[in-house]
Amino acid sequence: MGDKPKSAKLASDTESGASADEEVLCGLYGLKISSLQCFANVQSFTFFYGLAGLMTQTLTFYVNSQVPNMEKQFGLSSAESGLLMSFNDIGFLLCSLFISSLARFVHIPRFLFYCTLLYGFSGIICSIPHYITPNIEDLYVTSGKTPDLALPNNITETESSIMPLCVPELQLENRNFTTCEDDNRKKIFKMVSPEFKALAIGIIAIGMMVQGIGKAPRAPFVTVYIDDNVEKRKTGFYIGIMSAAATMGPALAFGLGGYLSKIYVTLEDVPITPKDPRFIGAWWLGFLVFGLGSLLVAIPIILFPNRIKWNQKKVEEYRKDMPKEKPLLTTRAKVKDRVSSYWRIMKNPIYISILVTNCAMVCGQAGYISFLAKYIQTQFGTPLWQSNLILAVTKLVGLAIGAFVGGFLTRKIPMIPRNTFGLLLILFVVQNGTFIFGFFLGCDQPRVVGPESYHGIAALPLSNCSRGCNCDGEQFFSICGSDGVNYHSPCFAGCLKSLSGGGLYENCTCIGDGGTARAGMCDSDCKTLIPWSIFTFIGSVAGMAKAMLSFIAKIRCVEDRDKSTAMGIQSFFLSLLAFLPAPILFGLIIDTTCLIWMTGCSGGGACLFYDIEDFRNKIHLSSLMFYTVAAGSTTFAFIKTRKWKTWRPRGHNKEKTVLCMPS
């Protein structure tokens, strides 16, 4: 815009005309600053809200990258971790249907500003449990905290409990712990009290719920704002840009999550490495960074006008098309209008089939990706930081590329029903085909010298050298010997001395030649990580391209007046039937594959050791069942519409159509 807004030439001299001019100027409520008017266009809104979408999506997915760290700090099972993630969608469900119908009655940029603020505050709330954790010196490894221990004369019973060394002269039955606090102090893996665990879960759950409330208006409001302010044929272009930016959010989340997983939770230099089972990454720092980032990127959004100024012809068309009778509708008429809209949509078989497809597909994907960083860490033996970086590149960059592939297909191929659903079926074959390889691209269960009751057929026979060490099978602390063999604990390797805070062990009699060992499992000779990553990348590209086509089908199969309602209904059911239950369901399934749990007199905690073959088969089979339902529903839509030339069967009026922003 110039120094003097041209809107004065377009408006009439009436009060309503002056008010309309105010609606197209950038500023904060009544304060309209001339230097800001050059940003009063859709391109600027797309850029600034693209940044906000990037940041808020980053915050949404960041929790997935930190599941193992949070489980170790608070003693959470996978089902409890899934419950925490589901609170995001509980907040979303509380207001999604109500919010989606408000887009025509509110100042959209201001509303989106407040929603982005909610995202920022939610991140800060989720970081609070770290600051109020009690007895922090007892829960964490700190620099210089754990002394080097050695036999035979200078070790106490407490020290031998903390580091399960081979201690022949001590008898397990004499180790009587008088309180839970004493018991916890003598455990390798510390557990917070049940009371604080409940408090921490409650605080993080509130943060996730606030995040879900802030997420609810994003898709319908942004879609309506863009669609009302550009030519119909350009809506998809701008929505596609913001969708691509938002899709990069998870990649940023897992990328930074990987970096923070290399930093110890207290931000101190500690004598243990990320491969040490006791290592907890700085999970809380990412919530703080992304929370403050969301607050920052929210600021420009509030300055945008309620509608964008077009040329004079467009302004006149806008005023002419505005439904002047709507403000005069009675409450009863408004309710009747909404009910009619819901009824038209719910009796549309094509929309219902798309809804079933998306619910089933998202349920399989949401549960899978919620624990994918944990899966990579467990299955391929990589440290968590490396798992997150692999995931950022293979899974989530693939989604961004898939968004562009989907946009290319929609531009080059006429999106009539037969073509749309036919392409969807082809992409289903590609995605599901690459996913099936996940059953076979995994590693064998690690062989461990330890009690057969814990390791089953993967247990290696115990050596005579450790039979007199009085090793406690409940004290699991995996180490890798210099002979390349995994041991249940230093005791089962006959180790007599620990160094570097328990990160290194010497004088391990079962290893031979004064053998040494280090904390953590031995590096696997499994070579399937790279092939798995390639197939995952291909599947991600196909999956996102398929999602873009599905969005087109969802909007074009309903009347233009019902598009906001259609988006609201799908968002509601995706949260209710997919995003909300999937993490809990998959968490429960993953828990059934656990072999060794963190235990204490105050209750159970996180899983310490999995049956990785069972883990691999169950998580892939669970997702594949949902994908099969989705493919079947898409096949029904293809058969139903294979002879349609347009998105309306004979007898229906043609309607203008738009794309919508993915929720």
pLDDT tens for 384-437 read: 889 889 988 887 778 778 877 887 887 777 778 888 888 889 998 998 899 999
Which CATH architecture describes the domain 339-444+527-649?
Up-down Bundle (1.20)
Q: Determine which helix (DSSP H) or strand (DSSP E) holds 360, and give its type and residue range.
A: helix 349-370
Tell me which DSSP letter residue 281 carries.
Answer: B
Q: How many CB atoms lie within 10 A of CB 142?
A: 16
Residue 423 token pair: 């392409």
- Rounded Cα distance between 490 and 506, Å, is 9
Tell me which DSSP letter residue 31 carries.
Answer: B
Phi, psi of 496 (to 5 degrees): -110, -10
Q: What is the predicted pLDDT for the residue at 330? A: 59
Instruction: Report the candidate in 172, 188, 143 with the shortest Cα–Cα distance to residue 500.
Output: 143
- Inter-axis angle of helices 67-74 and 194-215, to 10 degrees? 150
Residue 543 token pair: 């999956």
- 479-481 and 515-519 as β-strands: parallel, antiparallel, unpaired? antiparallel
Residue 243 token pair: 């969708």
Query: Which segments in the chain show pLDDT lower than 50?
Result: 1-19, 143-161, 171-175, 177-178, 311-312, 315, 323-326, 328, 649-663
**Residue 174 and residue 127 in contact, taking contact as beta carbons nearer than 8 Å:** no
Bond into 152 cis (ω within 30): yes
Q: How many CB atoms lie within 10 A of CB 140?
A: 18
Q: What is the predicted pLDDT for the residue at 535? A: 92
- Inter-axis angle of helices 349-370 and 581-591, to 10 degrees? 40
The C-alpha angle with vertex 156 and arms to 154 and 160, in degrees rounded to 5, equals 110
pLDDT tens sequence across 260-271:
989 988 888 888
Q: What share of the chain is helix, strand, coil (3-state, %, to 5)?
A: 65, 5, 30
The domains of the chain are located at 23-148+188-310, 339-444+527-649, 448-519
- Rounded Cα distance between 633 and 645, Å, is 21
Q: What is the predicted pLDDT for the residue at 203? A: 94
One-letter amino acid identity for 485? V
- 495-499 and 486-487 as β-strands: parallel, antiparallel, unpaired? unpaired
One-letter amino acid identity for 133? T
**Residue 494 and residue 166 in contact, taking contact as beta carbons nearer than 8 Å:** yes
Let me know if the fold of 23-148+188-310 is the same as that of 339-444+527-649: yes
Find residue 609's DSSP bridge partners: 596
Q: What is the predicted pLDDT for the residue at 21? A: 57
Which CATH architecture describes the domain 23-148+188-310?
Up-down Bundle (1.20)
